[in-house]
Structure 1
Amino acid sequence: MARWVKPEVYPLMAAMTFVASMCVFQLTRNVFMNPDVRVNKEHRQKAVLENAEEGEKYAEHGLRKFLRTRPPEVMPAINSFFSSTDSK
């Protein structure tokens, strides 16, 4: 195998592996945690699920709660450096 895999392909393989792992992570997260996915028979028999609190817990996860308290800037230090009006 090492004979036909060239070193120039390694960055592409790394990027594709990362993207594929992110896809697998998201699909797995949706299957196991999404309140709209019905895996067991008990939930599949109901036409409408009464699970508003489970949906709220799914939608308001920890990362979203953390980012809500942060300023909506990508690089706040650079933004404040260029936008400050301190004259020295």
Structure 2
Amino acid sequence: MHSSPSDRSDGSSGLIVEIIETLETCGVEDDSYQLYDYVDPNALEQLIASTDEHIAVQFTVEGILLEVSPDGVNVMVEDESQSGSA
């Protein structure tokens, strides 16, 4: 039988693992960056877990734009037509 606190801690560390795995899938090696240089993983976990509303946090690691929400971690693709126009 699992207790609530263990389940919660597994879920929170799972978010960090999911971020790292997503970056690895995009070709970013885990020894090429420190996640703390881009976002506070503990604060991000608390923010995502603390609300009943849908929330999404976007940040960039090594040029990869990520969006983290209660649904998981997604890689965002910039619209080149917007970034190329001046």
In the superposition, the TM-score normalised over structure 2's length comes to 0.31
Bigger radius of gyration, 1 or 2?
1
Q: Which has the higher contact order (CA 8 A, sep 6+)?
A: 2
The structure with the largest strand share of the pair is 2
In the superposition, the TM-score normalised over structure 1's length comes to 0.31
